[in-house]
């Protein structure tokens, strides 16, 4: 019999390593990990031997959450990110490695394009009010700014707006 996602959330098949002691139960906080002596602290960093670490990434609570998410999503593993910003960075880095039929990004070429955009912004000096490039299309060494908005002007003058927009045709 297949369990529904509601049952799997409460009664997961995911397991965590035993022998981990913490002050709070059932949530095991990394800041309150108990070790019997200093030698155990040093040995506690050996993830390969112990299965968990002293820190936020290897507590049984984090491992149980990752295991349950993987099970609910039908995956094998889940990588938990400690913040929303790091989660976004992980997705961005994964996409730069190539996704949805694109080639992995040429990171040197991407850095060069970003540097040229920054140089263009600096060349406008104090008259630059805002600059927006969204999206920046990346496919291997091909990098194109598909939509750019530049707003210039000074505090005592009206604003000038320049907008360019390109449609990127999908390659078969």
Evaluate whether residue 119 is within a structural domain: yes
CB under 8 Å to 19, separation ≥6 — which residues?
50
pLDDT tens digits, one per residue of 32-48 = 566 677 777 666 656 55
> Rg for the chain (alpha carbons), in Å?
25
State the chain's mean pLDDT as an integer.
Answer: 75
How far is it, in rounded angstroms, from Cα 108 to Cα 114? 10
Evaluate whether residue 97 is within a structural domain: no
pLDDT category, 23, cuts 50, 70, 90?
very low
Evaluate whether residue 96 is within a structural domain: no
Evaluate whether residue 44 is within a structural domain: yes
Report the candidate in 57, 64, 88 with the shortest Cα–Cα distance to residue 9: 64
Evaluate whether residue 101 is within a structural domain: no
Query: Do 121 and 72 share a structural domain?
Result: no
CB under 8 Å to 171, separation ≥6 — which residues?
none
The listed range with the strongest mean pLDDT (14-18, 23-27, 45-49) is: 14-18
Query: Do 54 and 114 share a structural domain?
Result: no
- Give the residue from 43, 63, 80 where a domain finishes: 80
- Eight-state DSSP code of residue 138: E
Q: Count of domains in the chain?
A: 2
For 25, the domain range is 5-80
Query: Do 9 and 76 share a structural domain?
Result: yes
Evaluate whether residue 172 is within a structural domain: no
Query: Do 134 and 73 share a structural domain?
Result: no
pLDDT tens digits, one per residue of 55-113 = 555 667 777 788 888 888 888 888 888 778 888 888 888 888 887 777 899 989 999 99
pTM above 0.75, yes or no: no
Question: Which pLDDT score is estimated for 122?
Answer: 93
- Choose between 22 and 62: higher pLDDT: 62
Question: Which pLDDT score is estimated for 5?
Answer: 63
């Amino acid at each position: 019999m297949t369990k529904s996602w509601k049952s799997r959330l409460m009664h997961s098949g995911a397991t965590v390593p035993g022998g981990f002691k913490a002050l709070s139960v059932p949530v095991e906080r990394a800041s309150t990990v108990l070790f019997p002596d200093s030698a155990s602290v040093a040995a506690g960093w050996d993830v390969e031997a112990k299965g968990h670490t002293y820190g936020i990434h290897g507590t049984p609570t984090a491992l149980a959450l990752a295991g349950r998410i993987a099970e609910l999503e039908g995956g094998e593993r889940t990588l938990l990110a400690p913040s929303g910003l790091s989660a976004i960075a992980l997705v961005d880095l994964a996409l730069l490695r190539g996704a949805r039929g694109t080639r992995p990004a040429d990171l040197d070429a991407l850095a060069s394009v970003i540097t040229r955009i920054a140089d263009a912004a600096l060349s406008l000096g104090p008259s630059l009010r805002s600059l927006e490039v969204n999206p920046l299309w990346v496919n291997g060494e091909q990098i194109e700014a598909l939509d750019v908005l530049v707003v210039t002007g000074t505090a005592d003058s009206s604003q000038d707006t320049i907008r360019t927009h390109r449609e990127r045709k999908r390659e078969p």
